[in-house]
Structure formats: structure tokens, C-alpha cells
Amino acid sequence: MRFPSIAACALALARSIPVALAASCPDGLCLKTRAALSSFQVASELGPLLSKGALIFGPEDPRWANATERYQTYLPPNIRIVVEPAVEADVPIIVKYANRHSLPFLAVNRAHGYTITLNKFDGLQINMAQLRNITISNDRESALMQGGVYGAQVIQALWDQGYVTSTGSCGCVGILGPGLGGGHGRYQGMYGLVSDAFIKLNVVLADGSAVTVSDKSHQDLFWAMRGAGHNFGIVTSFETKIWPKNLDTWYYRNLIFTQDKLEALFTELNKLGGNGTQPKELGHYGMYLKAAGIADPVIWWSFSYTGSQEDAEPYLQPFNDLGYISYDDGNVPYPDIAPAMQTGIDDPLCEPGLERISATAGLQVFNLTTQRQIYELYEKNINQYPELVNSWVVMEQYSVEGVRAVDPASQAYPMRDDYLLMAIDVDYTTNHSLDAIAFEWVHETRDLWNAGQPERKPTAYVNYAMGDEPIEQWYGWEPWRLAKLRALKRQYDPHGRFNYYNPITY
Ligand SMILES: Cc1cc2nc3c(=O)[nH]c(=O)nc-3n(C[C@H](O)[C@H](O)[C@H](O)COP(=O)(O)OP(=O)(O)OC[C@H]3O[C@@H](n4cnc5c(N)ncnc54)[C@H](O)[C@@H]3O)c2cc1C
Ligand SMILES: *[C@@H]1O[C@H](CO)[C@@H](O)[C@H](O)[C@H]1NC(C)=O
Ligand SMILES: *[C@@H]1O[C@H](CO)[C@@H](O)[C@H](O)[C@H]1NC(C)=O
Ligand SMILES: *[C@@H]1O[C@H](CO)[C@@H](O)[C@H](O)[C@H]1NC(C)=O
Ligand SMILES: *[C@@H]1O[C@H](CO)[C@@H](O)[C@H](O)[C@H]1NC(C)=O
Ligand SMILES: *[C@@H]1O[C@H](CO)[C@@H](O)[C@H](O)[C@H]1NC(C)=O
């Protein structure tokens, strides 16, 4: 929706009395403070400044529901207007326009961010959906990707050309949502976190200026944006390392166990994990979940191996020996691994539109007592509240070989000594009388995980955080890290324009 340029630009000389002064506004981005901007006004003023194909619309538009749908419906951001840049150069203009109108803005890509700090947002959504280009460089060692790329897309596009890179494990989530906070997934044993592969970020800063962030330019920001990146800018594109795929298929195996195997299972998982020494080819995770037709909640576990079944077998045999009630496996190309392991773009785990109350903890080894306590709590709650039956306890155990190979001081990401990622998601269709119950459950679960590792401080991976944790749990307990981040935040985002995703506060 585009409107012809209108001449009525205004400069706010007094707080709320705009004075028309067209000549002082040559770039069309005029300073105004207005209580409520309609989407029509924004379209008529900003629209002509953006490239062909850019979109601006409000709640009355048929595209609104799709553009503002979110994974998490509990305390979501309040979106008033959607602006969709068609080219990267639109983004600085949108940010400058928003700033001059005192209009908060938020980059939204796949809308799977679920921290409740997003609920403080009230303003203009910058929709990254048209910025999805991927170009492999001439030397075939990196790719330039735009800010709206996402997991399933990147995996498929690179694979088709013979390459792979680190992404999250779920097809539905963006690359930058995870990557700006680190980014965990199946290739981290080999290539490290998503952020470990970043070479260069093209960033629009809080004031609307466009800069290159790398180890040669804005080096301090490059440090900060690999772990705390949501706080500092909008990445319109980025250059990241890629690797030749080196194999045609991965092996996967999904097993389901009854609860009586719980202690034996976590004993074997601890042996396999080796306290942070799991072989780089192995990635796996599991869940406590309620399966139809089986009375007690079951333990589902899904293994993947970057290689052949034959090479995987010695690692997986002990799990077969425990005795399972369900088995399925296969050798599939890498793009098919996520759906095979229930994290494909169409799987329930990715599905938008539910309340998802969650909590997280980072661990090194499983504590068997804790794992049993959390199982019992899960069982008690789904029996007592049938509406919560689709809730999950999700436990991820990827190799950390590639993660530990990177100097922890070299990036803001603070958790290279967390080897296991724990999360509980209490999921239900909106029913506010369940909210307090859900929070009590997830807090109790988190407390159990943390009590099970009394010698370690609690951590909350920033992309799994609910938003109610202390800042040290997101960005690290070492005082130098927070001090450095706070100084950079003051320098690059003094007005807190990027304060909606687990913000650095001081
Ligand atoms: C089903 C599911 C699976 C997940 N799996 C993984 C996983 O395997 N590994 C992992 O590490 N994490 C995982 N996560 C967590 C994930 O990293 C976060 O939820 C992340 O915020 C999702 O990014 P998004 O683009 O989908 O969401 P969005 O809500 O669109 O983005 C989240 C935030 O990122 C920022 N942002 C987005 N795009 C840009 C940009 N171009 N420039 C600057 N800032 C930007 C904004 O602050 C935004 O609020 C998963 C989450 C879900 C819901
Ligand atoms: C929703 O929007 C996305 C882009 O953001 C688009 O790819 C998709 O086709 C849309 N879906 C529907 C049902 O309109
Ligand atoms: C998009 O990608 C294609 C192919 O990779 C490339 O030729 C083209 O220049 C890219 N366009 C932009 C705007 O980056
Ligand atoms: C795991 O390894 C860490 C060092 O990486 C060590 O501090 C810790 O004590 C080990 N834990 C166990 C249970 O062996
Ligand atoms: C909401 O949850 C409460 C508490 O479990 C339950 O009694 C009620 O029936 C639920 N309401 C709906 C509409 O499902
Ligand atoms: C395991 O968890 C229990 C219960 O919280 C705790 O008492 C115990 O110390 C933990 N064990 C280890 C080895 O940390």
C-alpha cells in the first residue's frame, strides 16, 4: 500500500504543537511527537520514502493476522503498525522515521521469540519477511544472508548447493533470533554456535545509521552482538561461514521409554555426554510427554548422528538395551533430519498461537534425583489439569566440542560451560485461570534443576529465557561481562530503542 508523497511535513517546536514547516524537512523525515499515528498516516508519510514492494499496513488489512501471528500468545508485544522493508536500504529510513515520531520499533522475523519482556513493546513492527536472500560467496567459504532468513530455508538452500552451517534445530525459527544470542543446534559439535560462524553483520543502529560490524569494524559491537545482539541493532544481512556437506545422509533414531527406565536412561545419557566430551557427530534431545493410549507420561528420546548407522551403533546400542516401547530410525538427507526428529516447520513444537509458559536451566550433567522429581511433578500436573496435557519437558544434549573450541572471552555469549539445555514448556489455549498454575509449575521445575547442581550458579540461555530471570542469568555472572555490555549499551543504544528482548539494563 503506497501513497503519493504529501507535502505537509511538520517540525515539532513545542511538545505537542506541530508547526508546518515543509522547507526544513528536505529528507521527508520530519520531527513530530504524536500520541497515535494511524497506519494510513504512516503509509502516506513513510510509504513514498521506501522502495517499491515495501508494505505498510494496520489491523484493518487482510494481511494483518498473518503478519502479527506469534508463537507465544501470553503477554505478546503490542503491534500497532506493520512495515515490511523490500530492500535492506529501507530499514535505516524506517528507523529514522520511527525515531522522529517517537514510535518504538521492533524487528520481527519468524515471531518465535517468547520472552515476556516483549510485552513492554508497543509500536511499529519491522517485518523481515522480504529479506530472505542467500548468496554463496565466490570462494565457497561463506554465504551472505539477509536478516529474514530462517532455519529450514537456510538448511535446504545450502544443502542443495553442497554446503552446511550452524543453525537452530527447529525449521521454523530464524537464524538471527537464535544467532544473536549464541544459537544452539545439531552442527555445534563440529562448527560451534550460530554466532561462532559470523564473519560480518550489516547493522542498522538505534539512530538509524547503517554500519558494518566485524572483527575489523566496530569490533566491540561484534563482541557484544554475538550473545547479546538483540540489544544493539537490526541486522539487515550477515556474512557467515559455510562448510562442504561431506556426506549425503545423517542417521537418526527415535526411542520411547516407559518411566521405570528413567534412572537407567539418564545414567547412559551421562556416559554418552561425558560431561562436555560427547563426540562431535552426536546430537540428541528428549522429552517427557503424554502419549495417547499410555497411562503414564513417557520419555521420548531422539538421536542424530552425522554419519552412518554403522558408525552410530556403538553409541546407541546401550539405549536399545534399556528396552524401549517404540523404535523408528532412518538415513536421511540433512534437511529431513528436523522433521524426522519432530522439529520440522510443520511439527507441533513449532506451532504458533498458544500460551507457552516456560523456564530454562543450563546443566553439565543430569542429576538422577532431579530428573525423577521433575517427572513426578509433570505427571502430577497433567493429571490434575487436563488442559495442560500438551506440555513438555525438553532436554537437549548436543556435542559441545565446537562450542568449547572458542575462547569464552571472545564473544558476549557467556555459557560455554553449559553442556545441557533444559526447558519446560507449559502449553495451552488461552485460559487465564491456568496462568498462575503454569508459572508455579515451571518455577518449581527450574528450581529443581538448579538445586540438582548446587555448586553451579543458575543460567538461562537468553533465547530460552521467560524474561523473569535476573540479568546475570542471561548475560553471565562474571562482572566484567555485564560491565562491558552496559558500557556498550550506553554508547550504542542510549535511549533503549532495543530494550524489548531480555534487555541490558543498568
Ligand atoms: C519451537 C522453537 C524452537 C527453538 N529452537 C531453538 C534452537 O534449536 N536453538 C536455539 O538456539 N534457539 C531455539 N529457539 C529459541 C529461539 O532462538 C528464539 O525463540 C528466537 O528469538 C526466535 O527467533 P525468531 O526469528 O523465530 O523470532 P522473532 O520473534 O522474530 O525474533 C526474536 C527477536 O530477535 C530479534 N531479531 C529478529 N530478527 C532480527 C534481525 N534481523 N536483527 C536484529 N534483531 C532481530 C528481535 O529482538 C526479536 O524480538 C527455539 C524457539 C522455539 C519457539
Ligand atoms: C504469511 O506471511 C508469510 C510472509 O511473512 C508468507 O510467506 C505466507 O505465505 C503468509 N501466509 C498466508 C496464509 O498468507
Ligand atoms: C539475491 O541472491 C541472488 C542469488 O544468490 C543474487 O544473484 C542477487 O544479487 C541477490 N540479490 C540481492 C538484492 O542481494
Ligand atoms: C564437569 O566438568 C567441569 C569442568 O568442565 C567440572 O568443573 C565438573 O566438576 C565436572 N562435573 C562432573 C560431575 O564431573
Ligand atoms: C480454564 O481452566 C480452569 C482450571 O483448570 C478450568 O476449570 C476451566 O474449565 C478452564 N476453562 C476453559 C474454557 O477451558
Ligand atoms: C542431585 O540433586 C539432589 C536434589 O536436589 C541434591 O541433593 C544433590 O546434591 C544433587 N547431586 C549432585 C551430585 O549434585
Q: Is the pLDDT of residue 364 over 70?
A: yes
Confidence tier at 340 by pLDDT (50, 70, 90): very high
Tell me how far the alpha carbon of residue 201 is from its chain's centroid.
17
Question: How far is ligand 5, taken at its centre, from the CA of residue 432, in Å?
Answer: 8
pLDDT tens per residue across span 21-45 = 344 566 666 656 555 778 999 999 9
- Atom nearest to 136 CA in ligand 3: 5
Query: pLDDT at residue 5 above 80?
Result: no
Convert 271-307 to b/e letters by CB count within 10 Å (16 or more is b): ebbeebebbbbbbbbbbbbbeeeeeebbbbbbbbbbb
Our mutation pick for probing the ligand 6 site, out of 365, 368, 369, 456, counting the most ligand atoms within 8 A of Cβ, is 369
Q: Which atom of ligand 3 has the smallest separation from the CA of 237?
A: 14
Which pLDDT value is given to residue 19?
A: 34
pLDDT at 145: 99
DSSP 384: H
Mean pLDDT of 482-496: 98
User: Which residues form the pocket of ligand 1, taking CB atoms under 6 Å from any ligand atom?
Assistant: 71, 106-114, 118, 128, 147, 168-170, 172-174, 176-178, 180, 183-185, 230, 234-235, 349-350, 463, 501
Q: Is the distance from CB of 328 to CB of 251 less than 8 angstroms?
A: no
CB atoms within 10 A of CB 49: 16
The pLDDT, as a whole number, for residue 12 is: 24
- Any idea what the Cα angle at residue 309 is, between residues 304 and 310, rounded to 5°? 140
The predicted-structure confidence for 413-428, as pLDDT tens digits, reads as follows: 999 999 999 999 999 9
User: What is the model's pLDDT at position 20?
Assistant: 35
pLDDT at position 31, please? 59
How many Å lie between the centroid of ligand 1 and the Cα of residue 112? 5
* Ligand 2 pocket, residues with Cβ under 6 angstroms: 66, 129
pLDDT at 66: 97
> Is a pLDDT exceeding 50 seen at residue 234?
yes
Ligand (nearest to CA of 67): 2
Ligand 1: which atom is nearest the Cα of residue 501? Answer: 47
* CA–CA distance, 166 with 179 (Å, rounded to integer): 9
Residue 8 has pLDDT above 60, yes or no: no
Average pLDDT rounded to a whole number, residues 164-180? 98
Residue 406 is predicted with a pLDDT of 98
Judge contact between 96 and 105, C-beta under 8 A: no
Non-local (6+) Cβ contacts of 33 within 8 A are 12, 15, 16, 101, 102
Lowest mean pLDDT among 9-13, 132-136, 487-491: 9-13
In this prediction, residue 10 carries a pLDDT of 25
Ligand 3 centre distance from Cα of residue 42 (Å): 29
Query: According to the model, what pLDDT value does residue 32 have?
Result: 60
pLDDT attached to residue 2: 31
Give the ligand whose atoms come closest to the C-alpha of residue 270: 4
Ligand 4 in reach of 417 Cβ (< 6 A) = yes
Task: Give residue 269's pLDDT.
Answer: 98
Question: What is the average pLDDT across 100-126?
Answer: 97
Q: Which residues contact 477 (CB under 8 A, 6 or more apart)?
A: 414, 457
DSSP for residue 291: P
pLDDT at 362 over 50: yes
What's the mean pLDDT in 275-302?
97
Report the b/e string of 158-193 with b at 16+ CB within 10 A.
bbeeebbbbbbbbbbbbbbbbbbbbbbbbbbbbbbb
pLDDT (average), residues 218-240: 99
Q: Strands 250-257, 298-305: parallel, antiparallel or unpaired by DSSP? A: antiparallel
Q: What is the pLDDT of residue 70?
A: 98
Q: What is the pLDDT of residue 15?
A: 26
Residue with the nearest Cα to atom 13 of ligand 5?
Answer: 431
- Ligand index nearest the alpha carbon of residue 388: 5
Residues near 378 by beta carbon (within 8 Å), at least 6 away in sequence: 288, 297, 391, 393, 445
Q: Residues 128-151: what's their mean pLDDT?
A: 98
Report the atom number in ligand 1 closest to the C-alpha of 350.
1
Across residues 78-104, what is the average pLDDT? Answer: 97
Cα gap 8→358, rounded to integer Å: 48
Atom of ligand 6 minimally distant from the CA of 367? 1
Distance CA 339, CA 374 (A): 27
The pLDDT value recorded for residue 28 is 67
Average pLDDT over residues 362-371: 98
- Which domains does the chain carry? 5-127 (3.30.43.10), 134-245+486-492 (3.30.465.10), 250-475 (3.40.462.20)
Q: Mean pLDDT, to the nearest integer, of 256-281?
A: 98
Residue 77, pLDDT > 80, answer: yes
For ligand 3, whether the C-beta of 133 sits within 6 Å is yes
| DSSP run (H or E) holding 382 | helix 368-384
Average pLDDT of the chain is 94
Distance 291 CA to ligand 2 centre (A): 32
pTM of the model: 0.94
Mean pLDDT of 204-215: 98
Residue 160 has pLDDT above 60, yes or no: yes
Which atom of ligand 5 has the smallest separation from the CA of 429?
A: 14
The CA-based angle 168-173-178, given to 5 degrees, is 55
Q: What are phi and psi of 377, to 5 degrees?
A: -65, -40
Which atom of ligand 6 is found nearest the CA of 451?
Answer: 5
**Cα–Cα distance between 361 and 342 in angstroms, integer?**
22
* pLDDT at residue 11, rounded to an integer: 24
Best of 380, 387, 428 for a ligand 5 pocket test (most atoms within 8 Å of beta carbon): 387
- Asked whether residue 356 carries a pLDDT value surpassing 60, the answer given is yes
Residue 37: what pLDDT? 79
CA distance 193 to 188: 5
Instruction: Check whether 295 has a pLDDT greater than 50.
Output: yes
